[in-house]
């Protein structure tokens, strides 16, 4: 007997491509499931004249999709995991994590330009990126850029910025890898928690066993580790907390950035531990960096 699944997605081209990737996977591996896509504009897609922390943070990109799930207009939502709030309702759990695409941030120059000039600001929409870029490019200035990836690229090519900082994963999924001028390694620029991973959100009480083979154990462990780090530090969308985990030989290596809201100072650090204890490793590094920063201020 065939079953019908409706996947909720944001309307942006990247969101639709990511949702289509999940749709194709389900259709290929579960031929008895018919998959439809329901697209919608989220508040975060509509309010573009202010930074995210001024208008309510990451929840803006999921609110409408959550509502559709709760009202049973959709059965799944596909999100870029980095856009999801760290606290997820028990009624709408994360049921699967995609294999991770390139998690790095990248530098994108205007078309035809080969080297970074500092006569215009770098377009950058997160404090996390700006903090770390100031170390790499102390002479740079920064300006907020909002909108989807294609809108940002248009603004760059129109001459508004000297460069953009974007996620490699989005550009690769859009087929725009040739726009990447430089990859920023995690040691130079710690990515946002979950960057490069798609989070599949469902409704509690439903049967999602058809996603069992879609769920990537390595991406899941890294995602839970990074999200635990950020959650302990209460790092919402506006707080420039960063976390990146990778697994080697059954061990998980976590890089983290702690930011102190009161004085604007920050501290980076790393920790290694067993991959099957990823969440507790994330929590441990968060508490360690916070304590270490506190001690350094008293010293």
User: What is the arithmetic mean of pLDDT over 162-170?
Assistant: 97
Confidence band of 125 (pLDDT split at 50, 70, 90): confident
Architecture of domain 1-98+197-214: 3-Layer(aba) Sandwich (3.40)
The number of residues in the chain equals: 299
CA distance 26 to 213: 10
- Comparing CA positions, the residue from 97, 93, 293 lying closest to residue 201 is 93
> In whole angstroms, what separates CA 117 from the centre of its chain?
28
Residues 289, 235 contacting (CB under 8 angstroms): no
CATH superfamily of 216-294: Porphobilinogen deaminase, C-terminal domain (3.30.160.40)
In the chain, which ranges are E strands?
3-10, 33-40, 76-80, 94-97, 105-108, 122-123, 142-143, 163-167, 180-184, 198-201, 242-248, 251-259, 266-274
Choosing among 3.40.50.740, 3.40.190.10, 3.40.50.300, 3.30.56.10, the CATH entry for 105-184 is 3.40.190.10
Mean pLDDT of the chain: 90
Give the residue, 297 or 283, on which the prediction is more confident.
283
Asked if the domains 1-98+197-214 and 216-294 are classified in one and the same CATH topology, the answer is no
| Cα separations in angstroms, 180 against 2, 66, 116, 151, 188 | 43, 33, 12, 16, 16
Is the confidence at residue 15, as pLDDT, over 90?
Answer: yes
Mean pLDDT for 34-57 is 63
Q: Measuring CA to CA, which residue among 62, 63, 53 is closest to residue 128?
A: 53
140-154 pLDDT, tens digit per residue, is 999 999 888 999 999
Task: Name the pLDDT band for 54 (thresholds 50, 70, 90).
Answer: very low
Exposed e or buried b for every residue in 124-138, given b needs 16+ CB within 10 A? bbbbbbbbbbeeebe
- Provide the pLDDT for residue 240: 83
The per-residue pLDDT for 56 is 46
Q: Region 47-75: what's the mean pLDDT?
A: 68
Q: Where are the domains of the chain?
A: 1-98+197-214, 105-184, 216-294
pLDDT for the residue 55: 43
> Does residue 44 have a pLDDT over 80?
no
**pLDDT tens profile 236-245:** 545 788 999 9
Q: Of 196, 244, 4, 224, give the one whose Cα is nearest residue 94.
A: 224
Does the pLDDT at position 160 exceed 90?
yes
What pLDDT score was predicted for residue 278?
Answer: 96
pLDDT score, position 64: 84
**Does position 156 have pLDDT exceeding 90, yes or no?**
yes
Does this model's pTM top 0.75? My answer is yes
Per-residue pLDDT band at 83 (split at 50, 70, 90): confident
Name residue 271's beta-bridge partners.
254
- Is 83 a residue of the active site? yes
Catalytic residue chosen out of the listed positions 45, 66, 75, 83: 83
pLDDT tens for 186-204 read 999 999 999 999 999 999 9
């Amino acid at each position: 007997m065939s079953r019908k699944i409706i996947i909720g997605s944001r309307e942006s081209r990247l969101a639709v491509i990511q949702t289509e990737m999940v749709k194709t996977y389900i259709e290929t591996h579960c031929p008895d499931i018919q998959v439809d896509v329901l697209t919608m504009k989220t508040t975060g897609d509509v309010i573009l004249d202010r930074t995210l922390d001024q208008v309510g943070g990451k929840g803006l990109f999921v609110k409408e999709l959550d509502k559709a799930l709760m009202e049973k207009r959709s059965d799944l939502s596909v999100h870029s995991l980095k856009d999801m709030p760290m606290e997820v309702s028990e009624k709408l759990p994360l049921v699967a994590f995609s294999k991770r695409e390139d998690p790095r941030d990248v530098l994108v120059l205007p078309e035809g330009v080969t080297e970074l000039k500092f006569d215009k600001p770098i377009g950058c929409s997160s404090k996390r990126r700006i903090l770390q870029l100031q170390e790499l490019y102390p002479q740079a200035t920064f300006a907020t850029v909002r909108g989807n990836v294609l809108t940002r690229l248009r603004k760059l090519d129109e001459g508004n910025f000297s460069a953009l900082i974007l996620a490699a994963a989005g550009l690769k999924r859009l087929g725009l890898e040739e726009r990447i001028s430089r990859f920023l390694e995690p040691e130079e620029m710690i990515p946002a928690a979950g960057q490069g991973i798609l989070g599949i959100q469902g409704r509690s009480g439903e049967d999602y066993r058809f996603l069992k083979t879609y769920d990537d154990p390595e991406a899941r462990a890294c995602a839970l580790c990074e999200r635990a780090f950020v959650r302990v530090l209460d790092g919402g969308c506006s707080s420039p907390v960063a976390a990146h985990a990778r697994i080697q030989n059954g061990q998980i290596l976590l890089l983290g950035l702690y930011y102190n809201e009161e004085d604007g100072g920050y501290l980076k650090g790393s920790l290694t531990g067993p991959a099957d204890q990823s969440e507790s490793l994330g929590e441990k590094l968060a508490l360690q960096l916070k304590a270490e920063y506190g001690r350094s201020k008293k010293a």
